[in-house]
Structure 1
Amino acid sequence: MPPDRASSPRAAPAEEGGRVAVLLPLPLAGAYDYAVPDGLVVGPGDYVMVPLGGARHVGIVWGPATGEVAAARLKPIERRYDVPPMPDVHRRFVERVAAYTVSPPGSVLRLSLGSSAALEPAAPGLVYRRSAQPVAAGDRVTPARARVLAVLEEGPAWALGDLARAAGVGNGVIHGLVELGLVEAVPVPGDRPPPIPDWRTPGPVLSSEQAAAAADLTSQQRDGRPGTVLLDGVTGSGKTEVYFEAIAACLAAGRQALVLVPEIALTGQWLDRFQRRFGVPPVEWHSEVASGDRRRNWRAVATGTARVVVGARSALFLPYADLGLIVVDEEHDGAFKQEDGVIYHGRDMAVLRGHLAGIPVVLASATPSLETVVNVDTGRYRMVHLPDRHGGASLPDIQVIDLRRHRPERQRWLAPPLVQALTDTLAAGEQSLLFLNRRGYAPLTLCRACGHRLECPSCTAWLVEHRLAGRLQCHHCGYSTALPRTCPACGEEDTLAACGPGVERLAEEVAARFPTARVELVASDTLTGPRAVEALVERVGRHEVDMLIGTQVVAKGHHFPMLTLVGVVDADLGLHGGDLRAGERTFQLLSQVAGRAGRAERPGVVYLQTIEPAHPVIQALARGDRDGFLEAEIDGRRQAHMPPFSRLAALILSSPAAADVDRAAQMLARAAPVDRDLTVLGPAPAPLSVLRGRHRRRFLVNAPRTAPLQAILRDWLARVRLPGSVRCQVDVDPYGFL
């Protein structure tokens, strides 16, 4: 029997009139004991309401009482919610994540709880359908009413808002038809289950390589074999259709499937493909989902009626009733790393969740992370390989433009060879993409009179000019202010100058060079949510756009059949700065953006503008030698004793007062563990030494793979009592070093 199913609603004897431990979604060290009043029956995993410190909180019955508090002093549980208990495997997952990330279990539990509204059943609703009453001669059927009737003739009952949108009318038109008797309102339960994807629907015809890969994944799913598989395929190789077959096998077994994606923007086109394959949309979970839908989706996951969930990293922490498969798409992507609160990596925790449940985990990528590649090499993971693009499309030709030899014009950013390539592509009626991973107009604004640089008042970061919005913005804390007319340091007027290019400044150059081209700017602050991205993809598909200018939002996952040219304006951006993963990250990002070119029958070409054409990353990209790059990167990490051949952890101290955080850093330094196999670096100011008004200091610990790193960190922190104003964050396996 699968592990999720083995956890019955009452995995241990229920308690009545006794006491139990309840874990609360608060940064507390563990569960608290509560009395079970007479007449109330609770068991492990039950959702309950309990009092604490003058407030009432939703918690989870975690197990037997600890006995640390006398029975007479215990407060009683106030109620038990009528929802399925949190499965045992999910409670073990919460505990393991807390232990791995050195976080309070209650903080991890908070990731799994919806709002208290999600625990209550929804009020009954109404749906509208065509009645049996025919249209009479005296009925006034206006064009708007006729559209409503036409929509209802095509299918089942509709919710009021959905019907109004489908017919393009207001709610009053529908109410008028109800009064006429031509439409009837039918009461329905408040929480209707989401539609069930049809796994029997045949998918597209797969190539022989895709079919072999799909057979491998589906056999693992059918046989109930646990384990992690890397689905390694070049961009455009059809990885999504392959893992759709594994989802179909999971659905055929009657279990739930989860697909994690790194960016909300990726889900729009993905949702269309899913609906074409399975007939209905999946359940979504990400920050753009409306609160009412989040409530319904959480309940559907907990009750098991949500059969397929697609979402951001937080979707991993939903309390699945019977999870049978996890897919992590674009597994290499840094967006899977949560940097605030409980700091975790979604990919790694997905592997942990799959291990605890004994279910398959599929990691899909064209540029897999070094950690995943090493896990394949050492036999911890299996690999399924797709070496070719689907449908006979070829990989793009990659050309390197040496900016030392082909200099752009003054105050311009496009080199002559790239300008010529853009001209030729426009003349051929094809589409282009210019990629620059910098939002806004310019990354730095300074005064020509006194040299003052405009900085964020809350962070040690420059303010980025967004000329289209007329604002200066900090991309770290969100601070925003209007563009000043005078220098705030010297008071001179008209002396503020934009330095360096952002995508807005690049768009300005393109408009000057190609005034008839239809250009779209694509960045996270111009596209909000998957629907906006979906609309853009449709415009590009209808060839209403000649040229895209974008940041990494446009680099991943999108399919543009007529896009044949990609120009990377600053291929060196991100290669330096002391980041352990700078080379790997740059290779992955540029490979992904290059993969947008030539995905259909038309061949593609990619131009990389660089001042370092001999850099190993640029050379590997130009040769298309991913495996050679990975081999060299792995060898370098091994020799430097860096992950994945050692373990890193960061301690980040922060406080509104610099003196407080410095004092706390010295206290921790004096208590630092001493071990010849352990290296403790710091304390040192973080690269962003002030963030959101808090001064920051960092320690970095490098330990052997076999070291009990979390135990070392817990012991270290337990020996120091930090000032109340100082916050300490633990980042095990850090991915960013700002």
Structure 2
Amino acid sequence: MTRARLILLNAALGPLDYRVPAGMSVEPGSIVVAPLGPRPMIGVVWEAERFPDVPSVGDNRLRPLLGVLDAPPLPAPLRRLIEWTAAYYLAPHAAVLRMALASMSALEGGKTVIEYRPSGALPERLTAQRAQALERIGERQGLVRELAAIGDVSDAVIRGLIKQGALEAVEVSTDLPFPRPDPDHAAISLSPGQEAAAQRLVEQVRSGESHTVLLDGVTGSGKTEVYFEAIAEALKQDRQTLVLLPEIALTEPFLDRFTARFGCAPVPWHSGLKQSDRRRAWRAIAEGEAGVVVGARSALFLPYRKLGLIVVDEAHETSFKQEEGVRYHARDVAVMRGLMESCPVVLASATPAIETRHQVELGRYEEIKLPSRYGGAELPEIIGVDLTHDPPDRGRWLAPPLVQAMRETLARGEQSLLFLNRRGYAPLTLCRHCGYRFQCPNCSAWMVEHRLTRRLACHHCGHEVPTPDSCPECHESDALVACGPGVERIADEVKALFPDARTAIVTSDTLWSPARAAAFVRDVAGGAVDIIVGTQLVTKGYHFPELTLVGVVDADLGLDGGDLRASERTYQQIVQVSGRAGRGEKPGRVFIQTRAPDAPVMRALLEGDDAAFYAAETASRRSANAPPFGRFAAIIVSDTDAALARETARRIGAAGPRQEGLEIYGPAEAPLAVLRGRHRWRLLVHARRSIDLQAIVRDWLSAIDWKSSTRVSVDVDPYSFV
């Protein structure tokens, strides 16, 4: 090649042509360094014919490439996936490409780095921040900034610990090989139903063809063990497997189960990895040495050399939808990657999304069902608690039937779980004297009280302030009132009711890393916890044989807000958390507290009528022409200037296309009208499935100019409407 067409890591630019200097060899997928103005920039060589509209420039006017990086080229299937993702989600190619080049240090040659770990010695002066850092770091090691992030302290605190000898230097190779999982390490005893399901998945892996399978099994049916057999087959064929998990907190328990089956851990990929581990993982994946990768949604765009299987565990989870940057859905992109890599994709779930069920009905996906729990365990008994007839005591949130069930469970030496999908102590704090309410200065949202850390926090932008002793408006002391419950408040109630019970609070505030999640699992499995109080983090993935009681504190909470998927999401969450009960030999019970026991979703939960609920929800979507029968795209306009955001949104709305089968709603001020200091307006486009929605929105927005301070983003197939 004498000239190369590049996609640079600059979302404001399209493809650009460069000259390939004499003696330099590049090919499509090569990762190169090119000049952009006065500075060098990383880019990837692309097939020129994929972007035929780039203006032709004479060879004598092209700037030469500066160099080729020592990294494997991005494979053709990944390049096609980047193109598809950019086109479908209306994102710049560079923004999608950046996810594939997720470790800049991996693009360099082999090297060593200096990391630091606790030496066992204490500093001469042990300040509160130094003590906090050492406690949170534990036995881990990493770069200075990584240890500072783990310890939630500044870099200066870590450097002080190094100077005092409390942290010692360690030279680490960046490219140590990963151990190879052994498909024959440990035999698994499968039930006849599991064996039949596993053999079907193994056949799909052997076929080497793209095929999407819904592995639909009730909670506790052993879906993980079934798809482990497909992973074993991919390993025997020397092909790579990707397992996507919805939460970082689920990674560590999964690694333990995987290690027991295959003799070593898979290669992890998530935001909690330190820089040297990300580099090592990226290169092992790109060179084909990483046999099995388990990670969050971003692992989907890594440069696998020989991908043979993709598993999306808990495929119904809404956390697979990216809400910022490139707003893709990992479940749907996984299916496309399987198509481009000619490999099967397994969507595993006890509560599949309506979109997935619809694909099964159309014959595009195959369904494999596991209708019963493994080993003779029975599904738990579901008991409804009508809070209008059997309310909690004044100032309490747990109704008498649930409290009595907890008392009986404790007496038997068994474990209980209370589920409330609300972090912190209370969602609103106000002054009883003047009525002042604590609101985030950056967002149109209330500040949430966290009593464990004595902070008021915004769960949208992360702004925090210490909880004051008096009202900032009227300065009255002892006048602040917490309104409504969060998990910390429920935990306080549990301690008051059962002072001798050992309680664990499980939220993203307490399980911020895989190591914390592993410690929690060890504590519960070892019998060191009697009662778990948690958010949606505890609804999936965990297997505790002694956990026999689940209480859903406020089953109606998720039904507020007018979300298209509110009923489905509530049903999925409660079914999933109910599935934590009675997974061993002991029977389980689930108490669902609700003020609307006659609502369709509550009736379906209490009667265990999965088919009726999904049939009614599907019919409702069909009549409204809502997904999966119609299509949505959201247009979000934001600016620090409220008037400018409103004016831009109105101009976009006025220029909207008018055609049959397409409706535009708005513009309207977003429900979350201010986020991180930016005023927000929204438009919603509703279209028939037969319409090329992306082309319409692309042409529509490209004809409009807006100020540089204004951001206009498009969310195709939105999951959030705030």
TM-score (norm 2): 0.90
> What is the SS of the residue equivalent to 1:395?
coil
The answer to whether 1:95 aligns with 2:95 is no
Deviations 1:672-706 (A, max 9, x none): 01012101000001110100000000000000011
Q: Per-residue deviation at 1:188?
A: 11
The answer to whether 1:69 aligns with 2:57 is yes
- Quick one: distance in 2 between partners of 1:543 and 1:86? 48
Alignment of 1:202-221 (within 5 A): 202-221=186-205
Alignment of 1:299-310 (within 5 A): 299-310=283-294
Alignment of 1:278-427 (within 5 A): 278-427=262-411
Write the letter of the residue equivalent to 1:561: P
Alignment of 1:232-271 (within 5 A): 232-271=216-255
The answer to whether 1:105 aligns with 2:89 is no
CA contact (8 A) 2:648 2:706 kept: yes
Q: Per-residue deviation at 1:97?
A: 0.3
Query: Aligned match of 1:545 in 508, 529, 537?
Result: 529
Write the letter of the residue equivalent to 2:192: S
Alignment of 1:605-624 (within 5 A): 605-624=589-608
Q: 1:51 to 1:125 in 2, by over 3 A?
A: closer
Q: 1:125 to 1:333 in 2, by over 3 A?
A: closer
Q: Per-residue deviation at 1:68?
A: 2.8
- Quick one: distance in 2 between partners of 1:85 and 1:67? 26
Q: Per-residue deviation at 1:383?
A: 0.3
Q: 1:595 to 1:35 in 2, by over 3 A?
A: same
Deviations 1:440-464 (A, max 9, x none): 1101001112222111000011000
The answer to whether 1:275 aligns with 2:294 is no
1:165 is matched with none
CA contact (8 A) 1:121 1:191 kept: no
- Quick one: distance in 2 between partners of 1:188 and 1:509? 48
Q: Per-residue deviation at 1:124?
A: 6.4
The answer to whether 1:631 aligns with 2:631 is no
Query: Aligned match of 1:716 in 680, 700, 712?
Result: 700
CA contact (8 A) 2:501 2:531 kept: yes
> What is the SS of the residue equivalent to 1:324?
strand
- Quick one: distance in 1 between partners of 2:65 and 2:253? 46
Give aligned pairs, total: 665
The answer to whether 1:80 aligns with 2:68 is yes
- Quick one: distance in 1 between partners of 2:375 and 2:182? 26
- Quick one: distance in 1 between partners of 2:469 and 2:499? 29
Structure whose CA Rg is larger: 1
Write the letter of the residue equivalent to 2:274: A
2:580 is matched with 596
CA contact (8 A) 1:26 1:107 kept: yes
Alignment of 1:8-87 (within 5 A): 15=1, 18-64=2-48, 66=54, 68-87=56-75
CA RMSD across the alignment:
1.6
- Quick one: distance in 1 between partners of 2:19 and 2:649? 42
1:734 is matched with 718
> What is the SS of the residue equivalent to 1:579?
coil
1:7 is matched with none
1:12 is matched with none
2:181 is matched with 197
Write the letter of the residue equivalent to 1:115: S
Write the letter of the residue equivalent to 2:709: S
Write the letter of the residue equivalent to 1:365: S
Q: Per-residue deviation at 1:196?
A: 0.9
> What is the SS of the residue equivalent to 2:100?
coil
Displacement over 6 Å in runs of 4+: none
CA contact (8 A) 1:262 1:335 kept: yes
Deviations 1:71-119 (A, max 9, x none): 3332211111122211011111100000000111111101110333211
CA contact (8 A) 1:33 1:67 kept: no
Q: 1:69 to 1:276 in 2, by over 3 A?
A: same
- Quick one: distance in 1 between partners of 2:66 and 2:666? 48
CA contact (8 A) 2:174 2:279 kept: no
Q: Per-residue deviation at 1:161?
A: 8.1
1:451 is matched with 435
CA contact (8 A) 2:174 2:276 kept: no
1:509 is matched with 493
Write the letter of the residue equivalent to 2:374: H
Q: Per-residue deviation at 1:29?
A: 4.8
The answer to whether 1:116 aligns with 2:104 is yes
CA contact (8 A) 1:29 1:105 kept: no
Write the letter of the residue equivalent to 1:608: I
The answer to whether 1:583 aligns with 2:567 is yes
- Quick one: distance in 2 between partners of 1:596 and 1:378? 32
- Quick one: distance in 1 between partners of 2:514 and 2:533? 18
Query: Aligned match of 1:669 in 653, 662, 668?
Result: 653
Task: Give unpaired runs (5+ residues) of structure 2.
Answer: 115-139, 143-170
Deviates more, 1:109-118 or 1:542-551: 109-118
- Quick one: distance in 2 between partners of 1:219 and 1:727? 48
- Quick one: distance in 2 between partners of 1:351 and 1:414? 43
- Quick one: distance in 2 between partners of 1:125 and 1:507? 44
Q: Per-residue deviation at 1:671?
A: 0.8
- Quick one: distance in 2 between partners of 1:465 and 1:111? 35
Write the letter of the residue equivalent to 2:584: A
Q: Per-residue deviation at 1:204?
A: 1.4
Alignment of 1:130-141 (within 5 A): none
Deviates more, 1:18-27 or 1:483-492: 483-492
Q: Per-residue deviation at 1:493?
A: 2.3
Task: Give unpaired runs (5+ residues) of structure 1.
Answer: 1-14, 127-159, 163-186
> What is the SS of the residue equivalent to 2:255?
helix
Deviates more, 1:469-478 or 1:73-82: 73-82
Q: 1:188 to 1:672 in 2, by over 3 A?
A: closer
> What is the SS of the residue equivalent to 2:40?
strand
Q: 1:512 to 1:124 in 2, by over 3 A?
A: closer
Deviates more, 1:353-362 or 1:92-101: 353-362
- Quick one: distance in 1 between partners of 2:376 and 2:84? 45
Q: 1:249 to 1:443 in 2, by over 3 A?
A: same
Deviates more, 1:677-686 or 1:112-121: 112-121
Q: 1:40 to 1:438 in 2, by over 3 A?
A: same
> What is the SS of the residue equivalent to 1:314?
helix
Deviations 1:641-677 (A, max 9, x none): 1111000000000000011111101110111010121
> What is the SS of the residue equivalent to 2:249?
helix
Query: Aligned match of 2:640 in 641, 653, 656?
Result: 656
Write the letter of the residue equivalent to 1:392: G
- Quick one: distance in 1 between partners of 2:638 and 2:57? 35
1:558 is matched with 542
- Quick one: distance in 2 between partners of 1:29 and 1:621? 51
CA contact (8 A) 2:103 2:282 kept: no
CA contact (8 A) 1:442 1:502 kept: yes
CA contact (8 A) 2:429 2:480 kept: yes
1:684 is matched with 668
Deviations 1:160-183 (A, max 9, x none): 989xxxxxxxxxxxxxxxxxxxxx
Q: 1:80 to 1:612 in 2, by over 3 A?
A: same
1:528 is matched with 512
1:644 is matched with 628
- Quick one: distance in 1 between partners of 2:521 and 2:103? 34
Write the letter of the residue equivalent to 1:670: A
Write the letter of the residue equivalent to 2:694: Q
- Quick one: distance in 2 between partners of 1:490 and 1:238? 58
Write the letter of the residue equivalent to 1:107: A
1:134 is matched with none
Q: Per-residue deviation at 1:531?
A: 1.5
> What is the SS of the residue equivalent to 2:559?
coil
Q: 1:125 to 1:690 in 2, by over 3 A?
A: closer
